[in-house]
Chain A
Amino acid sequence: MAELSLIEALRAGIDEAMAADERVFIFGEDVGKRGGVFRVTEGLQDKYGPWRVIDSPLAEGIIVGACIGAALYGMRPIAEIQFADFIWPAMNQIVSEAARICYRSNGDWNVPLVIRAPYGGGIHGALYHSQSVESIFAHVPGLKVVVPATPYDVKGMIRSAIDDPNPVLFFEHKKTYRLIKGQVPDGEYRVPIGKADVKRQGSDVTVITYGLMLHYALEAAEALAGTDGIETEVLDLRSVRPLDVEAILASARKTGKVLIVHEDNLTAGIGAEVAALIAEHAFEYLDAPIMRLCGPDVPAMPFAATLEEAFMPSPEKIAAKLRELAAY
């Protein structure tokens, strides 16, 4: 066991996968000598050489498109998109191609591809370095979309993503890279895709969340337990496609009061899907309306600190909402 930051855990997972399987290679902007602008791949080119960690030209369409081809050939590519905000030039390849290749070929072909991208705000990145993009991809059958938020989960899930015979979008909240630290076993292990995790047990209210908001929700839950005696259950989705429907319903049935928190915009976000599932399958267990605390419906985070703060859900905003829910 070692205490690692999220970024160290992620790198360790990728490193282990590359050591285990020569077909695994990394393709993205600045991933080589520089080790990525966030340094996720730092040292890997020195270790595995320039044909395992390859600097791509500045063109997201070909990063993903070529990785699809390499995956069809039998490789296990990891595509890095420098910021999730710049994934749109690759949209055609992700949605029209990667997501549909298995279906459209009647199972003849498949795409074992991981697309990694740092996402999320609160880092003064403004509109084009702060976006949350997960719900757009989660809408697409054929894609898996994961958003792990702890060092343990990140390391275990990157291994599952690389093993997966399907395209997996692997989103890393960039604010968690160095902020979040945790215990990580030394050896190899996997965290399955599609399984949520109860990160805090509670009996009064449930928060369903993922990403950076997991940590804010845990902070809010601790504060509330101390000040108000409200016991909050915190369910970390980890994977937004597929969703762990059983875990969502189990927690909703247990507490009867559900708050969904995400940084992504409110409308048609993951919260809408989670709320619909609970309303359809656990309605009679509810003691209060399902509530959502999300990023507002503005295109993305503005640069000014005051505006950014106004955009982001925070532990304080979550605690206030939980109080409202508990009192309902």
Chain B
Amino acid sequence: MTDVQPGSVATGLDHGDLVAIYEKMLLARLLDERQWILNRQGKAPFVISCQGHEAAQVGSAYALTPGKDWILPYYRDLGVVLTLGVTPSEVMMGLFARAGDPNSGGRQMPAHYGYRKLKIVTQSSPTGTQVPHAVGIGLGIKIRNELAGRIVDDAVAWVSFGEGTSSQGEVHEAMNLAGIHRLPVIFVCENNGYAISVPQRMQMGIENVADRAAGYGFPGVVVDGGDPIACYEATLAAVERARRGEGPTLLEFKCVRLTPHSSDDNDRTYRTPEEIKAIRQHDPLARFAAYLQAEGILNEAREAELRERIKRLVNEATAAAEAAPPPDPATLLQHVYCGDQ
């Protein structure tokens, strides 16, 4: 258990970090699985999954500074928000549309993350609209620094989206502006090969979303989205680059989507049984567990203990959120305008 694992010197991640990353990945997975059970029980009308993206999400978010950096996640980013400090019961409040849901007080569908305290910026459902916002935050940071004549704020804006969403004009407009002014923005494409049922080859004529970065004048990096250490390293390099004032980076994490698009989707209508079986071989959680065990960082007993603890956490979060009050109907008209109370 004291061996330094390969790569840990380069990344600066020690065993404690690796276990912490694994814990968040496991928490994301178990919380996600519980949401599907609640959906099938008729208790949660809508679920959208992070399953298959945990390594990319937790690894990448681990390179950010909570409360300092600006986070603009998309609906799959359960692992991201958990890593940054959103609690399991807060996630479950969103699922059950409770008044205590920090995203929206139960106004938005589940998985529309947002939390001012943690600088997680409110998101909507039209895909890609968050990307211009990230660039605008980067512009704000840049203006402040330029006016001061030095770096007074070295925060970065981290924004994510799927490869399907990268077809949106707003995403291209945003990257173009970030390139013009070398803004401190980390563009993260979590590429799972599908936009609902439409495969990547019907979204773009190229193999890698990251290749587009060259057209905007900044680096694009393809990363194995099943390897949290690789995702952490790539993000850290991008963050450090941005903090130094050198501009944006586009990271493309090649992921798999282990579930249907959402609880309203049936992927058997467009994926073959063989394919569904095959993607299971790419489960990032199992892969990282095997790695940690091979490195002697985790053993079966410790893993079982961890699972027990996280399951308890998920149970408690579910119970607490289920028991929490729904929004008061009298609040329907509130917050149409800021300061209108």
- Chain A residues with CB under 8 Å of chain B are 22, 25, 27, 49, 51-52, 56-57, 59, 61-62, 64-75, 77, 89, 92-93, 96-97, 100-112, 141-142, 144, 165-166
A22 cross-chain contacts in B, Cβ below 8 A: 147
B341 cross-chain contacts in A, Cβ below 8 A: 107
Give Cα A76 to B124, complex, Å. 22
B112 cross-chain contacts in A, Cβ below 8 A: 104
- Taking the nearest CB of chain A, how far is it from the CB of B333, in angstroms? 10
A109 cross-chain contacts in B, Cβ below 8 A: 114, 116, 121-122
A99's nearest neighbour on chain B, judged by CB, is: B336
5 A-B pairs with CB atoms under 8 Å apart are A59-B176, A69-B134, A69-B139, A92-B126, A105-B116
Give Cα A49 to B132, complex, Å. 24
Establish whether residues A73 and B132, one from each chain, have CB atoms under 8 Å apart when the complex forms.
Answer: no
Known: A57-B176, A73-B136. A106 touches B107 (CB 8 A): yes
Establish whether residues B132 and A106, one from each chain, have CB atoms under 8 Å apart when the complex forms.
Answer: no
Establish whether residues A70 and B139, one from each chain, have CB atoms under 8 Å apart when the complex forms.
Answer: yes
1/0 per residue, CB under 8 A from A, across B307-341: the answer is 00000000000000000000000000011111101
Known: A67-B136, A69-B140, A92-B129. A104 touches B124 (CB 8 A): yes
B137 cross-chain contacts in A, Cβ below 8 A: 69-70, 72-73
Partner of A51, one of B143, B176, B334: B143
Partner of A65, one of B121, B129, B143: B129
B282 cross-chain contacts in A, Cβ below 8 A: none
Establish whether residues B140 and A70, one from each chain, have CB atoms under 8 Å apart when the complex forms.
Answer: yes
A62 cross-chain contacts in B, Cβ below 8 A: 132, 135, 170, 173-174, 176-177
B124's nearest neighbour on chain A, judged by CB, is: A96
Give Cα A232 to B335, complex, Å. 39
Establish whether residues A66 and B121, one from each chain, have CB atoms under 8 Å apart when the complex forms.
Answer: no
CB of B164 within 8 A of chain A?
Answer: no
- Taking the nearest CB of chain B, how far is it from the CB of A18, in angstroms? 12
Which residues 96-131 in B have Cβ within 8 Å of A in the complex? 102-105, 107-108, 112, 114-116, 121-122, 124, 126, 129, 131
Give Cα A144 to B340, complex, Å. 13
Partner of B337, one of A65, A74, A102, A104: A102
New A-B pairs, 16, CB < 8 Å, besides A74-B140, A165-B338? A64-B132, A65-B129, A65-B132, A68-B132, A69-B157, A70-B137, A70-B139, A73-B136, A96-B129, A102-B335, A104-B104, A104-B107, A104-B112, A105-B335, A106-B107, A141-B336
Give Cα A142 to B107, complex, Å. 15
Establish whether residues B335 and A103, one from each chain, have CB atoms under 8 Å apart when the complex forms.
Answer: yes
Smallest CB-CB A-B distances: 6 pairs: A69-B136, A65-B132, A106-B105, A73-B140, A110-B338, A66-B136
Give Cα A107 to B334, complex, Å. 8
Give Cα A66 to B185, complex, Å. 12
A73 cross-chain contacts in B, Cβ below 8 A: 70, 136-137, 140-141
CB of B284 within 8 A of chain A?
Answer: no
Establish whether residues B126 and A75, one from each chain, have CB atoms under 8 Å apart when the complex forms.
Answer: no
Give Cα A69 to B140, complex, Å. 8
CB of B4 within 8 A of chain A?
Answer: no
B116's nearest neighbour on chain A, judged by CB, is: A108
Partner of B135, one of A66, A89, A101, A108: A66
CB of B214 within 8 A of chain A?
Answer: no
Known: A57-B180, A73-B140, A92-B129. A107 touches B169 (CB 8 A): no
Give Cα A59 to B175, complex, Å. 12
CB of B17 within 8 A of chain A?
Answer: no
Partner of A92, one of B170, B334, B335: B170
CB of B14 within 8 A of chain A?
Answer: no
Known: A70-B140, A102-B338, A105-B116. A51 touches B180 (CB 8 A): no
